[in-house]
Amino acid sequence: MSGHAAITRYPAPSEQPLLRAALRGALTLLFRSLIRPGMPISGQRLVLRVLTAVHPTQPGVRRQAGQLAGRPCEWHRPQGASHGTLLYLHGGAFMLGAPASHRALCAALAHYAQLDVCALDYRLAPEHPFPAALDDALAAYRCLRAQDERALFIGGDSAGGNLALVTCLRLREQAISQPAALLCLAPVVDFSGVQLHQPAAGDPLLNPAWLEQAHACYCPPGVDPLQPWISPINADLHGLPPLLLQVGEDELLRNDSLRLAEKAAASGVRVRLEHYLGLWHVFQCHAGLLHAADRALQSAADFLRQHS
């Protein structure tokens, strides 16, 4: 049965104006201007490691290195009994990032949702193009499903949100039970790039040339970037688990989330879309620093708990 996505639009936050301005300026100067095709991918990775080297800690959450389905991972475990496990797939345009770059976000989710959060260190392009990252995500999910009978969730941001969504499509194809819910923070779902948003305030992180580079690295010659396993906006979305989408207004990928929400709802998926005005791509990474990020992750945690 088809329906409409439940959409909530949050006004631009009024608190922490100096911090928000400082973050936006720093991201524009240090991320958007450096992480672009003119910088070698090795240099881009170094810039991201430096920018995320220091992050707020989350009291009551223990971090532990591990291995899952042959890949490194990091576990974030809350104090006391957890209600299940969230497999988290980090963003970074399929080329950058690691569990370490998303520690603040994952620790906050573990704390707010009282879930064990496993951040997977999947293989990156261009050394490992499609479908390596997707294969790693699917193997990790299957391993977690075999190990633990409690509620299992999957989520991710940007490229990781793409992988989380497509992993669910692969699970459906293979008749493997779906996660209890799916969390996607500003996922990239359309590699055509024809419906990019142009925010009036500008996007302090993403630039079109970098997105084109990511597409070329992830999809080598001969791989169709519009196939559903890469551009899930072109997929049949029926049978997916309950889906929460969070997206900022000031980002090139805004329309990916808006279009995905409507298509998934029309396919009978229970969808909630949270649209944050005045905020940028994956602002949730500023958890523990930016109040708006903490509120968004608390909302995500509430959604996950509802489906435990």
Task: Please state, in angstroms and rounded to a whole number, the distance separating the CA atoms of residues 259 and 177.
Answer: 26
Catalytic residue among 111, 215, 281, 286: 281
All residues at 6 or more sequence positions from 72 whose CB lies less than 8 Å from its CB, including other chains: 65, 66, 99, 121
Instruction: For the chain, count helices (H), then strands (E).
Output: 8, 9
Residues 6+ apart with CB under 8 A from 264: 5, 237, 240, 243, 271
281 catalytic? Reply is: yes
Which is the catalytic residue, given 74, 249, 251, 274? Answer: 251
CB atoms within 10 A of CB 126: 14
* Rounded-to-integer distance, Cα 233 and Cα 191, Å: 9
Q: Environment class of residue 127 by beta-carbon count within 10 Å: exposed (0-12), middle (13-18) or buried (19+)?
A: exposed
Q: What is the 3-state secondary structure (H, E, C) of 18-74?
A: HHHHHHHHHHHHHHHCCCCCCCCHHHHHHHHHHHCCCCCCCCCEEEEEEEECCEEEE
Instruction: Give the torsion sign (CA, 96, 117, 58, 15).
Output: positive
| Tokens, residue 288 | 């523990």
The helix (run of H) or strand (run of E) holding residue 302 is helix 291-306
A 10 A CB-CB count for 237 gives: 23
Q: Strands 271-280, 182-185: parallel, antiparallel or unpaired by DSSP? A: unpaired
Greatest extent of the chain over all pairs of C-alpha atoms, in Å: 50
- Given the residues 82, 158, 231, 257, select the one marked as catalytic: 158
Determine contact, residues 115/153, Cβ cutoff 8 Å.
yes
Active site residues: 158, 251, 281
